[in-house]
A and B are shown apart, each in its own frame.
Chain A
Amino acid sequence: KNEVEQSPQNLTAQEGEFITINCSYSVGISALHWLQQHPGGGIVSLFMLSSGKKKHGRLIATINIQEKHSSLHITASHPRDSAVYICAVKGRSNFGNEKLTFGTGTRLTIIP
């Protein structure tokens, strides 16, 4: 069993639909990142969470530390949201530069 599991692996939806991508992890963490990777390969960090909920535009990320679970939501999805979304967790450490453990990613395709 992977330390970080994402679901679904692939998701195709119509433009405008509400999207939810889930991430479950089995280790103690200091932070969780949601990343977006476009077809060209570039990666952008969308959110860094250690508790609660964050919102940026049409994107919302939540985390439940007790349940070791995080969700990424996209409202009013658009074809430009098509990308691979990756959940990554950072372990607990005193040093601040801990390495990340990555989920396998969710490939999202939004159809016009």
Chain B
Amino acid sequence: GAVVSQHPSWVICKSGTSVKIECRSLDFQATTMFWYRQFPKQSLMLMATSNEGSKATYEQGVEKDKFLINHASLTLSTLTVTSAHPEDSSFYICSATPWRTSGGAINTGELFFGEGSRLTVL
């Protein structure tokens, strides 16, 4: 089945540094990917919608200059947490819906999630 790979799965960094998280669709193209943040024992919160070849759409309250999103190809979106602070420590996860699979199917509507990235900022 379709797979979304997210890397790194966990990262520890010092306050003030930047961290890049990659979300890659391995066997399908995705014109849109979604980035979520999840705090302990809470549900997923959509941060932004990553659009291939154009600017990301951020949800209200999410700082676009702090959470930089780049969707440079149909299979890769990156989230960069800039000047990270301890309050940015969270579980970040991406999702993608196949626009076109390796078998040729178009816009199946199915949803695939990355494995998630646990960020700890010291």
Contact = CB atoms under 8 A, between A and B. Distances in A.
Interface of A: 31, 33, 35, 40-45, 48, 86, 90, 96-97, 99-100, 102-105
B43 interface: yes
Nearest to A104: B43
B43 A102 contact: yes
Nearest to B118: A41
Interface residues of B, number: 23
Interface of B: 31-32, 34, 38, 42-44, 46, 49, 91, 93, 95, 97, 99, 107, 109-113, 115-116, 118
Contacts of B95: 43
Given A97-B31, A104-B43, A48 B111 contact: yes
Contacts of A45: 110-113
B43 A103 contact: yes
Contacts of A43: 44, 93, 95, 113, 116
Contact of B46 (A40, A99, A103): A99
B110 A41 contact: no
Contacts of A40: 116
